[in-house]
């Protein structure tokens, strides 16, 4: 399957990890995209960001007859998703906390593929009542199984500290609120992107040396 390039700018896939109607993930991802656009590496053209919104991928509950480890993708939607993920050098996940874990749609999207994730780097922006930290912990565990390295810096947004619900009816569970990140969130996101770009560049020599991602040497 297609995999990331070995030269040129670091291609970062901004993965919007929720598909729920009325989700806040789109607003968070929009803020992430606008903030990352001001990062020095992005402004210099050394890194580029492409949004991969799971709500637009139309991935059903995993329906591939062959385990992803073998790369024998039979469904058109799987091949499309594999091409998008494979073209990335790194990922920036935006995910809410659902019952102290990641959304089923995001877990499903990870499970569809294997080699396309291998030996790449990821960062996380999580949000929820308690910042979505448990969702991030679980996502990191899942990503480890597909050989994705998660950088140390995370951004965690709290519903009661980083969203403004004034102007909406009090107690309305559907109120989206307005994203109003605390002052230090943007600097943490910038630090995360620096780590993503630096670590992604460090992993490129293995591919340049001719070791194919997903090969037995890497899968073990």
Tens-place pLDDT, residues 20-74: 998 999 999 999 999 999 999 999 999 999 999 999 999 999 999 999 999 999 9
* Predicted local confidence at residue 163, as pLDDT: 93
Please report the domains of the chain, with CATH numbers, ordered by start residue. Answer: 10-219 (3.40.50.360)
Distance (Å) of CA 138 to CA 23, 111, 130: 20, 14, 15
Tokens linked to 80? 């499309």
**Cα radius of gyration (the chain):** 17
Q: What are the tens digits of pLDDT across the range 141-167?
A: 999 999 999 999 999 999 989 999 988
Q: Output 183 or 34, whichever has higher pLDDT.
A: 34
Q: What is the pLDDT of residue 175?
A: 84
Contact 103/19 with Cβ under 8 angstroms? yes
DSSP letters along 8-75, please? SSEEEEEEE----TT-SHHHHHHHHHHHHTTSHHHHTTSEEEEEEEGGGT-PPS---SS-GGG----S
Strands 120-128 and 163-164: unpaired
Q: Give the pLDDT band of residue 169 (cuts 50, 70, 90).
A: confident
Better-predicted residue by pLDDT, 210 or 8: 8
**Residue 55 φ/ψ, nearest 5 degrees:** -65, -20
pTM over 0.95: no
Top-confidence residue, 119 or 208: 119
């Amino acid at each position: 399957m297609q995999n990331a390039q070995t030269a040129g700018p670091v291609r970062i896939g901004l993965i919007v990890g929720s598909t729920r109607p009325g989700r806040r993930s789109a607003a968070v991802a929009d803020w992430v995209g606008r903030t990352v656009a001001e990062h020095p590496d992005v402004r210099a053209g050394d890194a580029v960001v492409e949004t991969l919104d799971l709500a637009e991928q139309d991935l059903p509950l995993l329906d591939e007859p062959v385990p992803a480890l073998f790369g024998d993708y039979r469904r058109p939607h799987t091949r499309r998703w594999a091409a998008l993920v494979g073209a990335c050098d790194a990922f920036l996940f935006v995910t809410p906390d659902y019952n102290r874990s990641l959304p089923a749609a995001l877990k499903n999207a990870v499970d569809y593929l294997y080699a396309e994730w291998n030996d790449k780097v990821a960062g996380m922006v999580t949000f929820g009542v308690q910042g979505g930290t448990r969702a991030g912990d679980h996502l990191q565990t899942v990503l480890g199984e597909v050989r994705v390295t998660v950088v140390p810096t995370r951004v965690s947004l709290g519903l009661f500290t980083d969203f403004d619900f004034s102007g909406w009816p009090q107690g309305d569970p559907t109120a989206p609120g307005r994203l109003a990140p605390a002052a230090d969130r943007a600097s943490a996101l910038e630090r995360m992107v620096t780590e993503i770009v630096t670590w992604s560049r460090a992993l490129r020599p293995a591919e340049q040396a001719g070791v194919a991602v997903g090969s037995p040497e890497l899968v073990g």
